[in-house]
Structure formats: C-alpha cells, structure tokens
Structure 1
Amino acid sequence: MKFMRQLLPHLMTSLILSVSMMLLPVQAATINGQEVQDTDWDSLMPADFTPDSLFDSSEFGNLDDYDPMAEARLQAMMAALSSAPVVEAMDGKMVRIPGFVVPLVEEGMKVTEFFLVPYFGACIHVPPPPSNQMIHVTYEPGTNVENLYDAIWISGELKVATVAHELGTSGYKLEAFQIEPYEEE
C-alpha cells in the first residue's frame, strides 16, 4: 500500500534524530529549578513497543486503494496509532527534545499550539505517528515558524496526557519554556 512506502523515509528521519541525540553532550541546564534532560523519541516508547505491534501490516500490500477493506484496515490502524502505550515514568520530567512542528493554532504570524513530531510531514503528508511519538505543545508567547522543514529544540515539562485533534492524537503534552533552532551540537 502506498502508505507504507511513504512512511519509510520518515521513519529514517526519526532514526537519524534518535541517533544524533546519542551523540550529544549532556546538558546541565535547569528550568524552574529542575534539571533539563536531553531526551530522544525512543525514550517516549515502552521498551517492548514497536509500531508494528499495533496492527498486522502484512495484508496492506494485497489491498487495492479503492477496496472497502482497505478503508476498514486504515481506520483500524488509525485507532491503534491513537492509543499507543506511553512511558508513565516520563510524566513530570523537564525535557529538551528535537522535532518538527505541525501547527494547530496560529495567532497572526505566531504558532501558539502545535504537535511536535519526530519527522517532517507527520500528520500532514502521511498518517500521524503513534500517539507515543507525538507531543502536544503550547507556548503562550508563540513562536515564528518560517519553514516547517526546519527541526527545532523544545524544552519544558513533559506530561502524560492524551490530546486528540483532527490531525492526530498525542500521548504527551508539554508547556514549552524554550524553543530554539535545531543545530547538531
């Protein structure tokens, strides 16, 4: 199915971001008296979780895009992606994580609410990632997002919370204290 072929390049981008996080020096920054932990996307998934465990994708290749069964399988897949398990131990952690912006609320030129996702195009060009790979972010002052292709760093307190939107469902939310351009360090 076209979906699986389109998803592969985006999963590779997520892998590159995760690997780059392993190479970063440890930051000793603090926000509100809490030490900020550099975090990668893999730490937001339980150790035994893989997106493939949510649904059987082996039948997708045999379905025509216009087959009613394809639509039923897609709806089942979307429901599974929306309820992926989270890591409860991450609740309340002050984190710094890289990702891409999917705007949800814009005020003039500023984005005040968005999903942070591990690869470009998630929720817009392809189906959303699992909910444990999406963070609902609010940033009251708003931030200018000049190019959705550009990755950013977000720092703030991570909470385990489900936020549903027409573009996807996140398993985490974060009130951002700091947003900065992504640069490999």
Structure 2
Amino acid sequence: MNSHLTKFFLLIISFLLLSNNLMAEPKETDWLTLMPKEDQQALNNMPELVLHNTAEAPSQFGKIGGLKQQDKTLPKVMYSTNTVPSLEGKRIRIGGYPVPIELNKQGKVIQLFIVPYPGACIHVPPPPPNQIILVNYEKGIELKDIYEPIWVIGKLHIEAISNDLADASYSMQADKVRPVEESDL
C-alpha cells in the first residue's frame, strides 16, 4: 500500500511539473524566424528605405492606408507570403506592436494583428504578410497605446488571411497577451 501511495504522489508531482512547464512562457521567437532563409537573404540585400518617422508625415503609399499600403517600387520580399513549415503548431512567444481589429463589450481587444514595429499601419511601409500575425485572444486585453509593445504567447499556425486591413501569412490563438515590461528586457 505504501508503494502505491508513493507512486500516486510521484504521478501527481510529475503532472504538476509538466503542467507548470506547459504554462511557462517559451523563449522569445525572433520575427526573422517567420521568414524562410531566401526571404531573409533578400531582405539583407535590399537597399535602405527612406521612411517617414513622424505621425504627421504624409503617406507615400497612396490613399488606402492600413497594412495593405503598397509601393510597387519596393522589392518583392516586402510582399512575401512565404512561410516556414516547421513553425506550424509550435507554441511561441513573440513581441511586437498591436493593430486592434475587434473589441468585446468591455472594450478589450479580442482580435488584432501583431507586427514587428510601431506605426506599420500609418505612414511607413507595412511589413510583408509573413511578418504579420492575426491573433485571436478570447480573454481580451486592454490596450492603452498601440505604440507600446506586447508579448503574444500561443500556438502559431500557417494560414493565409486577407481582410480590408491586411494580408497575413500566420495566425495564432493566444493563450496569453501582455504588455512588455521593463523586467523582460
């Protein structure tokens, strides 16, 4: 009987340790990891872009605005939808900037795009679709400022998404979304 009790407690402890590891935040995923090596190389060989860096600057990308702005003079890599198959279903943590899409009744953001740099939907060239992730977060998060970075944690999926605001090559059902804190840096 004593050995059965010991095995039971070991089983419980193992379960608790395993569930604790599943809830721990994974190591940070770099945005470039979402791009195939060919796209990374093309990005490295791209000429430097002249960007507007103030909110008042007019857009050089036409009147449409949003993450679908296009400048046909940019290299193809700026519109790449190429993905990395080994990332399908992988639980990741990625930091970036929110572009809210849908709010719940309490005013919390439950659907958003996360992008690698702030201002991507206003006056700078938008990231390529393989650098945009559609995030669904049922719990919702209160966003005070879209220029404040956030962490998104969940399983990444390869999925072509296109709506009025953006084209994205990835989606995520997030189990956690939180602001980046100074202790994270």
TM bucket (normalised to shorter chain) is: 0.5 to 0.7
The residue matched to 1:48 in structure 2 has which SS? helix
Q: Does the CA contact (< 8 Å) of 1:155 and 1:178 recur in 2?
A: yes
Identify the residue that residue 68 of structure 1 maps to in structure 2.
none
Looking at structure 2, the residues matched to 133 and 141 of structure 1 have their Cα atoms a distance apart, in angstroms, of 24
Q: CA deviation at 1:75?
A: 5.1
Determine which of 82, 86, 89 is the counterpart of 1:85. Answer: 82
Q: 1:138 to 1:174 in 2, by over 3 A?
A: same
Cα distance per residue 1:58-97 (max 9 Å; x no partner): 9x9xxxx7xxxxxxx8358598644431111100000011
1:166: how far off? 1.9
Render the CA deviation track for 1:125-184: whole Å, top value 9, x for unaligned: 333211111000000121111111100111000001111122221110000101111133
Which amino acid letter does the alignment assign opposite residue 135 of structure 2? Answer: V
Q: Does 1:175 align with 2:173?
A: yes
- Structure 1 range deviating more: 154-163 or 34-43: 34-43
Residues 130 and 169, structure 2, Cα contact 8 Å, conserved in 1: yes
Equivalent position amino acid for 1:43 in 2: T
User: Can you give the 5+ residue segments of structure 2 that lack an aligned partner in the other structure?
Assistant: 1-19, 51-59, 61-69
Q: Which amino acid aligns with 1:134?
A: I
Q: 1:30 aligned to 2:19?
A: no
Whether contact under 8 Å (2:141, 2:178) holds in the other structure is no
Identify which of 36, 40, 45 aligns with 2:35.
45
Of structures 1 and 2, the larger Rg is shown by 2
Which amino acid in structure 1 is aligned with residue 31 of structure 2? W
The 2-side partners of 1:39 and 1:137 are apart by 15
Letter in 2 for 1:30: L
- Quick one: distance in 2 between partners of 1:176 and 1:52? 30
Shifted more, 99-108 versus 173-182: the winner is: 99-108
Query: Is 1:127 aligned to residue 161 of structure 2?
Result: no
Report % sequence identity.
Answer: 35
Distance of 2:25 and 2:126 partners within structure 1: 31
**Contact 2:98 2:149 (C-alpha < 8 Å) held by counterparts:** yes
State the alpha-carbon separation in 1 of the partners of residues 103 and 151 from structure 2. 19
User: What's the TM-score, normalizing by structure 1?
Assistant: 0.65
Closer/same/farther in 2, CA of residues 76 and 140 from structure 1, 3 Å limit: farther
Q: Secondary structure at the match of 1:43?
A: helix
Please identify which structure carries the higher strand content: 1
Q: Tell me the number of residue pairs that the alignment of Structure 1 and Structure 2 aligns.
A: 145
Q: Taking structure 2 as the reference length, what is the TM-score of the superposition?
A: 0.65
Q: Is the 8 A contact 1:45 1:132 kept in 2?
A: yes
Matches within 5 A, 1:1-185: 29-31=21-23, 36-50=26-40, 52=42, 74=71, 81-108=78-105, 109-183=107-181, 184-185=184-185
More moved, 174-183 vs 80-89: 80-89
